[in-house]
Amino acid sequence: MVCVAADGRITMVNAQAERLFGYQREELEGQLVEVLVPGAAHSVHPQYRTTYMADPKPRPMGGGMQLSVCRRDGSIFPADISLAAIDTEEGILMTAAVRDVTSRQQAQEELERANRELESFAYSVSHDLRAPLRTLAGFSAALLDECADELGEAGRGYAGRIQSASEQMAKLIDDLLRLARMSKAEVNLQPVDLGAEVASIAAELQRDRPDRSVLFTIQQPVWVLADRSLIRTALQNLMENAWKFTSGRDDASIDFAAAPVTQQARVRCYVRDNGAGFDPAYVDKLFRPFQRLHSAREFPGTGVGLASVRQVVERHGGRVWAEGVVGGGATFYLTLQPADAL
């Protein structure tokens, strides 16, 4: 704590300030407060001080800027400074509470470095891990193609496994990268008709598999505030899941509907299917990356889809959860802001 008079001279410091700045009390008292200000800000500081004295409301100093202060030995450290004024017999005194934030700044820098490292890791994953996968996929295909007879049936089976495993791993890497990118992506809110998005996804699914018969019941319009491309990715994942897990049924049906949640100014939507469902005992695992509740033999997948759904919905400040029973279908709920909340 440092007290400063209207003329800028230090009138009082506490023991903590002595320790922080490395001065004895007598050395500071009577000095201009600029003795504690690093050289770069020396010339402008008296002006700031005068401005503050003209309207001495309690406030943090620097208006959000990173401040630094100067010790007796000339070393500089980052600080948070809160200003306030007290009326005394000798006039208004400015008090400055100074806090050393070196460790906070270091933590911040460390975090930034870790983020950069993660980014370059994701980058090399996309680049370096894919090259050997291409070799695996390419040459197992070549084996099947050119040496099919020599391989025999068992050998062809093995080569086929190498081929599909490498392609599966490529999908995994792509999904992971997408997940990583999504956590960084900017969220640009705009009114989006979820019903229209779901309908167009349904049409695409049906177009790719015209042989399948699925009854879609899609409520339209359902206006929410969302980032169109992010929320589309989430809906795509939910719809693809519903499509996949109803593949064993002749009477497959997929519903999309929404209802306002009145107390919370939220819209609750759901995607419901009558497919394979899941064991509700494992509901907590559903939204974690790489967690799968079905074998790859039954239903292929990477286990990243629902994790990215959660990522997207949470980035929108919403919530996602699921209900299901084995063999009795599944319902995935999400809450979002209604479009009229804009």
Partner 1 sequence: MSDWRVLLVEDNPDDEALTIRAFAKNDIHDKIVVARDGAEAVDYLRAIDSGETPPPALILLDLKLPKVGGLDVLHQIRAGQRTRLIPVVVLTTSVEPEDVLAGYDGGANAYVRKPVSFSDFVAAVRTIVTFWLSLVERPPAATAPALPGGQPAAHS
Catalog residues that contact partner 1 under the rule CB under 8 A: 123, 126-128, 130-131, 133-135, 137-139, 141-142, 163, 166-167, 170
Spatial distance between the Cα atoms of 168 and 49, rounded to a whole number of angstroms: 64
As given in the structure block, the two tokens for residue 75 are 């070393």
Q: What's the closest the beta carbon of residue 167 comes to partner 1, in angstroms?
A: 5
Nearer to partner 1, 141 or 179 (CB): 141
Nearer to partner 1, 102 or 135 (CB): 135
DSSP-assigned letters across all residues of 222-276: -EEEE-HHHHHHHHHHHHHHHHHHTTT-TTEEEEEEEEEEGGGTEEEEEEEE-SS
Q: Are 268 and 261 in contact (CB under 8 A)?
A: yes
Q: Are 339 and 227 in contact (CB under 8 A)?
A: no
Listed in sequence order, the DSSP H helices in the chain are 15-21, 25-28, 45-54, 102-128, 130-146, 148-184, 194-208, 228-245, 305-315
**DSSP structure class, residue 328:** S
Residue burial 214-238, b: 16+ Cβ < 10 Å; e: rest: bebebbeebbbbbbeebbbbbbbbb
- Kindly give, in sequence order, each residue whose CB lies less than 8 Å from that of residue 286, ignoring residues fewer than 6 positions away: 278, 293, 306, 322
Q: What's the closest the beta carbon of residue 184 comes to partner 1, in angstroms?
A: 11
Q: What's the closest the beta carbon of residue 122 comes to partner 1, in angstroms?
A: 9
Q: What's the closest the beta carbon of residue 299 comes to partner 1, in angstroms?
A: 20
Nearer to partner 1, 123 or 282 (CB): 123
Rounded-to-10 torsion of CA 120, 236, 251, 286: 50
Q: What's the closest the beta carbon of residue 129 comes to partner 1, in angstroms?
A: 9
Nearer to partner 1, 166 or 241 (CB): 166
**DSSP structure class, residue 9:** B
| CA distances from residue 223 to 130, 175, 191, 322, 335 in whole angstroms, order as listed | 40, 28, 6, 22, 12
Q: What's the closest the beta carbon of residue 121 comes to partner 1, in angstroms?
A: 13
Q: What's the closest the beta carbon of residue 158 comes to partner 1, in angstroms?
A: 16
Nearer to partner 1, 138 or 327 (CB): 138
Q: What's the closest the beta carbon of residue 238 comes to partner 1, in angstroms?
A: 25
Sign, CA dihedral 140-141-145-149, equals positive
Nearer to partner 1, 93 or 133 (CB): 133
Nearer to partner 1, 19 or 134 (CB): 134
Nearer to partner 1, 31 or 135 (CB): 135
